[in-house]
Amino acid sequence: MTLTFPQDFTFGTATAAYQIEGAVTEDGRCPSIWDTFSHTPGATIAGDTGDVATDSYHRWREDLALLKDLGVDAYRFSIAVPRIISTPDGVPNEKGLDFYEGVVDALLEAGIKPVVTLYHWDLPQYLGDEGGWLNRRTAYALADYAGIVAKRLGDRVDTWTTLNEPWCSSYLSYGAKEHAPGLGLGPGAFPAVHHLNLAHGLMTQAVRAEVGDKAKCSVTLNLQFNRGDADACHRLDLISNRAFLDPMLRGRYPDELFSITKGICDWDFIQSGDLELIHQPIDVLGINYYSTNRVAMSDRPQFPQSTEASTAPGASDVDWLSTEGPHTDMGWNIDPDGLHDLLVRVHDNYPEVDLVVTENGMACKDQLTVNEDGTKSVHDPDRIDYLKRHFAAAKRAIDEGVPLTGYFVWSLLDNFEWYFGYAKRFGITYVDYATQERIPKDSFMWYRDFLASRKG
């Protein structure tokens, strides 16, 4: 591939704690809402849990060896909140901090920048018991936690990401039933949206209070890119994207968000001063991108009085149409132009902030092949093609002036894919879950060659 990215562009790969670590009862870790949820019968498709996952809590050195072999500039991983604030008394769990300090130091020694996500959905259950993200106190607890981590690791972490995909931890978790805690409250998810926004602001402040202005602060959003009927796209843009982007980057919610949710939410959980707290300067906006949607207006009413489960409360009049193939093993369409168009649009609307693709990748039906000489391979040409086309789309955006500074492939390893458990494989490294053997797939070799070619 002859794509030439800027020399200082950061290429990496990403994981998240609950998806890889396992060891859920070790070294003082407390249960999280995902432990509870995944152990609830019927909550994940085959009853899979993150109890063992890829056992990376024990095998992280093996994973580090993979990263070194791959030649990435950076590794994006998340810190398990229940390993750090494992008790409600606010006393940090030193063993948890020691674990991540070991990982960060080893990454730095290997010349790999640590890019930390502070919250990737593993809320301690004791906070869940108090209402989780429906309770504004959760935002303050997460800010205390962010300060604790920043105090220990502040001098060594390259980038601090407050939240990963608050769309998932609000709409998918409180609006619908697919993610923990799976409450299905429809418009009842809006307080969670606001409290996650508040947490982002407070966590950013807490990191800067410990690390000072040299802290590179960020948040990662899975912005939805919708094609089709303009009214439907606009409605979803307000609910799914601007409900996070505008408070975080503009210090206000769009007025239209209030009008389209009139009758289903009074937003009285927004307290005076909240928007100033949420609107902290950030250095980087992370975007997770996988696919696009096709939407249209229906004949249904815009303002139903219903509180039925929904990932887009206030858009009951929008239909999701089937998308053109090909699709990934998740059933998501492959649309590299969508990445380009999304990056351009975000930059047009929020020109002040650098962008990073913090996740992009593909789930495939990977098959392990045992070769005649006993070696093992996984041939995943579709994933290589997917990555090449998305890299090209990102490069096109850079050439058009988008300040995109990094790209992280999801994921380093096959792992626990939430509701789908272990049935979906996103890794560039295959994990044999029976033995925990790691087998780099062809896409790993392709990425390694691509990265090597950049270093000349």
| Helices 56-70, 442-455: inter-axial angle, 10-degree rounding | 50
121 among annotated binding-site residues? no
Least distance in angstroms from the C-beta of 16 to ligand IFM: 5
Least distance in angstroms from the C-beta of 229 to ligand IFM: 26
Chain residues in the site for ligand IFM (CB under 6 A): 16, 19, 165, 288, 359, 410, 417, 426
Least distance in angstroms from the C-beta of 220 to ligand IFM: 9
Between the CA of residue 5 and those of 284, 289, 347, what are the distances in Å?
18, 19, 18
Where residue 440 falls (left for φ over 0; alpha for ψ -120 to 50; beta otherwise) is beta
Cα(350)–Cα(452) distance, integer angstroms: 33
Cα(57)–Cα(75) distance, integer angstroms: 16
Residue 425 carries which DSSP code?
A: B
Which of 82/92 has CB closer to ligand IFM? 82
Which of 16/264 has CB closer to ligand IFM? 16
Q: Which residues are catalytic?
A: 165, 359
435 Cβ neighbours under 8 A, 6+ residues apart? none
Least distance in angstroms from the C-beta of 236 to ligand IFM: 18
75 among annotated binding-site residues? no
Which of 253/420 has CB closer to ligand IFM? 420
Type of residue at 51: D
Spatial contact of 308 and 378, defined as CB atoms under 8 Å apart:
no
Which of 73/178 has CB closer to ligand IFM? 178
120 among annotated binding-site residues? yes
Least distance in angstroms from the C-beta of 361 to ligand IFM: 7
164 among annotated binding-site residues? yes
Angle at the Cα of 101 (from 100 to 107), degrees rounded to 5? 90
320 among annotated binding-site residues? no
Buried b (16+ CB within 10 A) or exposed e, 102-140: ebbebbeeeebbbbbbbbbbbbbbbbbeeebbbbbebbe
Which of 63/359 has CB closer to ligand IFM? 359
Going by the annotation, the residues of the binding site are 19, 120, 164, 290, 410, 417-418
Going by the annotation, the residues of the binding site for substrate are 19, 120, 164, 290, 410, 417-418
